[in-house]
A and B are shown apart, each in its own frame.
Chain A
Amino acid sequence: MTDTVGGVILIGPWQLATATLFVVFVGVLSIRLSLGITKDLAIATVRTYVQLLALGFVLRLVFGIDSPWLVVGLVLLMVLAAARILVKRSPDAPPGIFGSAFVSMALTGFLITFSVTGVIIQVEPWYLPQYVIPLAGMVIGNSMNGIALALERMFADLDRREDEVLALTALGATPWEAAHPAIRDALRAGLIPTINSMAAAGIVFIPGMMSGQILAGADPVTATGYQIVVMLMVAAATALGSVMALVLTYRRRFSADGVFLEKGFRDDAR
């Protein structure tokens, strides 16, 4: 009944259909109880199928072609998508921060991913897609969440603290000094989810990468090593990316003369 490849039990159409049945059941429940999530659930289920199947085929293709340009291009594409999501998730940020978001994501994404594959794991060749692409995905995806949180927090905080910012500026503070309390709090806010998941890892849950490796037949202790590397690099990428994004963008809320642009002084309606 079940096929295996290298010790891994294959998921075929029948298995997928069975799993989908559970979602259908939830959908029926939602209609009966008027929970109003049927449509969202249906769309999310379809998206999961389409996006992950597409990803699977793309990765199979990329692994087969074995070109460094393709791997770097794919990572760049991930960075681009992450930067777009970042900007969308920061409604309180001034317009025009896409460039800064992209630079922060790109620098941390490439630096951390290739440090791990090149220095720690030492894959051969350096662009080996089986390692680079999943690791880049984890670094970029997780740090994107932290950076988005930090950015949104900083700009919302600056607005909330505009009296404090004005008082500091009036005392002779530079924009950096006036914004510093907001920047510091934003950095902390962006890092908290990562720190929390580091603290709970292994006690509350088995982290994703480790689960995957164990399911794929790896020795749990071997999987532990990978998981630790991944968690540390996600923390480093989030911290580095957040610092960079905050430093590159905070000045946009100040005039050339160093005055905080309160809502009444902004050209944009944001």
Chain B
Amino acid sequence: MAQTALLVARDLVALLRVDGRNARVLDGVSLALAPGSIADITGPSGSGKTTLLRALARLLPEVTGSLTLGSVPAENITPTAWRAAVALLPQKPAIFSGSVAENLRVPWTLKERHGQQPPTDEVLAAALVSVGLDDVALDRDAARLSVGQQARVALLRVLLTGPRVLLLDEPDAALDDASSDAVGALLRDFVEAGGAIARVRHHRSDGLATQRYVLEGGTLDALPAGVPEPEFGEVSL
């Protein structure tokens, strides 16, 4: 598995300042994501699930350990190129001022994608339909979308850039069941095309995961197939 893995993390250690003290939020976490895999990460509130995703996206200062993407060590990839390839979708969808189309094309305003053609209106419209946003016009003011609609626009914005690995922080926290199913179908297409996904999730299982982990006390433990995920009593907001 290690040879074929797309994203490999070894011995990630992250210290965070919590209430004025240093806490080892990640204490030697290792993880390998092969193409086609979806890894679900659960764990109690504050156990560092978001921190882990940020470490994988190289969005965490002062983290030690090693990361490789397609067997290229992280040191040989610029941070911006890494983040374009290992794309994190934060839990709180960030919507920029402007229309839905402008929001979806934000990635192409960045130097990292200089020279790449942004997706056409047709591509964007089809993408909206694929997540059940048929009734959202491309020129709609993005700030006026509901939280669930904004979450899907933020997901599409990341997906349209064509990353190799997706890191999703509670992607369906703000979604109803129908939109959740539409997003699930999109994620399945993504991994079938050779991508890999790590998701932070709560107890609600959608049967998509190929690997399941529990992050607790700074360590990541694999859950064997068939063992139900422990309930952590978290409430999705």
Contacts and interface: CB of A to CB of B under 8 A. Distances in A.
Given A171-B157, A177-B110, A258 B80 contact: yes
19 contacts: A166-B90, A167-B90, A167-B94, A168-B94, A169-B83, A171-B83, A171-B107, A171-B110, A171-B158, A172-B84, A172-B107, A172-B110, A177-B109, A177-B110, A255-B61, A258-B80, A259-B79, A264-B17, A265-B61
A173 interface: yes
Contacts of B111: 174, 177
Contacts of A171: 83-84, 87, 106-107, 110, 112, 157-158, 161
A174 B80 contact: yes
A164 B109 CA distance: 15
A147 B176 CA distance: 47
A170 B79 contact: no
Interface SS, B side: mixed
- Tier of interface size on chain A: 20 to 34
Contacts of B84: 171-172
Given A166-B59, A167-B154, A259-B79, 13 more contacts: A163-B90, A163-B94, A168-B106, A170-B57, A170-B83, A170-B90, A171-B84, A171-B158, A172-B107, A173-B110, A181-B96, A255-B61, A259-B58
Interface of B: 16-18, 57-62, 79-81, 83-84, 87-90, 92-94, 96, 106-107, 109-113, 154, 157-158, 161
Q: What are the nearest 4 A-B pairs in CB distance?
A: A167-B94, A172-B112, A172-B84, A255-B61
Contacts of B87: 170-171
A3 interface: no
A257 interface: yes
A118 B140 CA distance: 54
B89 A170 contact: yes
Contacts of A255: 61-62
